């Protein structure tokens, strides 16, 4: 074993030399450093040795004290070498961190190199296993991080696939998926579900007059106003062009009208600021509800709200109409 370093802590000079001779015959000259006391042992850089052989009885303390200090400093294996052939002492030494226990009896000097070799091999395997464990932990941590990144990427891709890029509301395709889900839940639990279709009044003319950039800003503004007035459970989407749709679970016709009223008022004020004019852009809206109209299919609920939207357009725009409404100025808000 190249560059092997062994430390012997032994107060008996004769025993020290016998062990040194036997170990250096086996492992090579200059392998062994010997000290005779607890003080001298703990003055050494114990972490720099490959293995330490420590006597149980020392003139200035016990081998157990040395063992305890060494195990605090490093993981260098320690063999307790002693004439005390007592099982309880051996057990205590092993509990306190000794890697092996050698009794100075009989031909122990002939077997001690083999015991050292065995413990060096065991320590090497332990280090390799620890290195492998740390490497596996690092690999597992890197894999977890990579999986989290992939999950985040997947979530962003899914959000992009479900979102209208201009308004950040859901797109029509994702809305259709949520519509079926919310409609089925409302029917199952006998809860109401309102659908609102909203269209900007005179949007084409505004585009022609102010330009498409302003037109896009109006759509973005509409999306912000709608998001600001929807509940956590509500679904809002850009249905196409300047048309928007809202699904309001557990909301009846009157509650839906209240939501639309706030949206129309806030959008009128905000769009007036954007266009730098006194009057903002109006919105026409149609409201249909599951309990009010009892459509058999989800698509029919949307179709009913869309038909009511066009009634609002035909009645003069800038108003909200539900089923059975008489078109008066009261519809205009």
- The model's pLDDT over 287-318, given as tens digits with 9 standing for 90+, comes to 999 998 899 999 999 999 999 999 999 999 99
152: in domain: no
Nearest to 270 by CA among 285, 282, 258: 282
Strands 6-9 and 32-35: parallel
Task: Pick the last residue of a domain from 132, 162, 189.
Answer: 132
- What is the structure's pLDDT at 104? 86
Task: Tell whether the model's pLDDT for residue 165 goes beyond 50.
Answer: yes
Average pLDDT for the chain: 92
As a whole number of angstroms, the distance between CA 199 and CA 244 comes to 6
Number of domains the chain is built from: 2
pLDDT band at 155 (very low <50, low <70, confident <90, very high): confident
- What is the structure's pLDDT at 315? 94
Q: Are residues 115 and 176 in the same domain?
A: no
Tell me if the pTM is above 0.75.
Answer: no
What's the Cα-to-Cα distance from 139 to each of 9, 20, 151, 154, rounded to whole Å?
A: 41, 44, 18, 22
CATH classification of the domain holding 10: 3.40.50.2300
Q: Are residues 124 and 50 in the same domain?
A: yes
As a whole number of angstroms, the distance between CA 281 and CA 237 comes to 19
Task: Tell whether the model's pLDDT for residue 142 goes beyond 90.
Answer: yes
As a whole number of angstroms, the distance between CA 264 and CA 19 comes to 97
156: in domain: no
Task: Pick the last residue of a domain from 132, 158, 182.
Answer: 132
DSSP-based three-state secondary structure for 10:
coil
Q: Are residues 227 and 127 in the same domain?
A: no
- What is the structure's pLDDT at 187? 95
**Structural domain span for residue 115:** 6-132
As a whole number of angstroms, the distance between CA 216 and CA 202 comes to 14
Task: Tell whether the model's pLDDT for residue 328 goes beyond 60.
Answer: no
pLDDT tens per residue, range 190-219: 999 999 999 999 999 999 999 999 999 999
| 208-239 per-residue burial string, b: 16 or more CB within 10 A, e: under 16 | eeeeeeebebbbebbbbbbeebbeeebbbbbb
Q: Are residues 110 and 176 in the same domain?
A: no
């Amino acid at each position: 074993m190249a560059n092997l370093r062994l430390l012997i802590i032994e107060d008996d000079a004769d025993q020290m030399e016998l062990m040194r001779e036997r170990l250096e015959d086996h492992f090579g000259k200059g392998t062994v450093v010997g000290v005779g006391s607890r003080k001298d042992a703990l003055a050494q850089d114990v972490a720099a040795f490959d293995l330490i052989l420590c006597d149980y009885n020392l003139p200035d303390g016990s081998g157990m004290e040395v063992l305890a200090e060494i195990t605090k400093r490093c993981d260098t294996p320690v063999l307790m070498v002693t004439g005390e052939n007592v099982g309880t002492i051996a057990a205590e030494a092993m509990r306190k961190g000794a890697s092996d226990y050698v009794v100075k009896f009989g031909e122990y000097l002939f077997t001690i190199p083999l015991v050292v070799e065995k413990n060096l091999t065991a320590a090497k395997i332990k280090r390799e296993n620890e290195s492998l464990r740390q490497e596996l932990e690092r690999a597992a941590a890197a894999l977890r991080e990579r999986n989290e990144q992939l999950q985040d990427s997947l979530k962003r891709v899914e959000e992009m696939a479900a979102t209208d890029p201009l308004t950040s509301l859901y797109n029509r395709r994702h809305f259709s998926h949520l519509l079926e889900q919310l409609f089925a839940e409302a029917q199952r639990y006998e809860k109401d579900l309102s659908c609102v279709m909203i269209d900007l009044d005179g949007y084409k003319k505004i585009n022609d007059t102010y330009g498409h950039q302003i037109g896009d800003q109006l759509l973005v503004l509409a999306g912000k106003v709608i998001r600001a007035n929807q509940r956590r459970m509500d679904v809002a989407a850009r249905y196409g062009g300047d048309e928007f749709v809202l699904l309001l679970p557990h909301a009846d016709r009157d509650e839906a009208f209240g939501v639309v009223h706030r949206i129309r008022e806030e959008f009128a004020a905000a769009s007036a600021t954007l266009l730098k004019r006194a009057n903002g852009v109006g919105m026409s809206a149609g409201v249909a509800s599951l309990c009010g109209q009892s459509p058999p299919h989800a698509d029919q609920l949307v179709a009913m709200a869309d038909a009511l939207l066009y009634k609002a357009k035909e009645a003069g725009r800038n108003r909200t109409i539900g089923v059975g409404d008489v078109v008066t100025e009261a519809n205009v808000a």
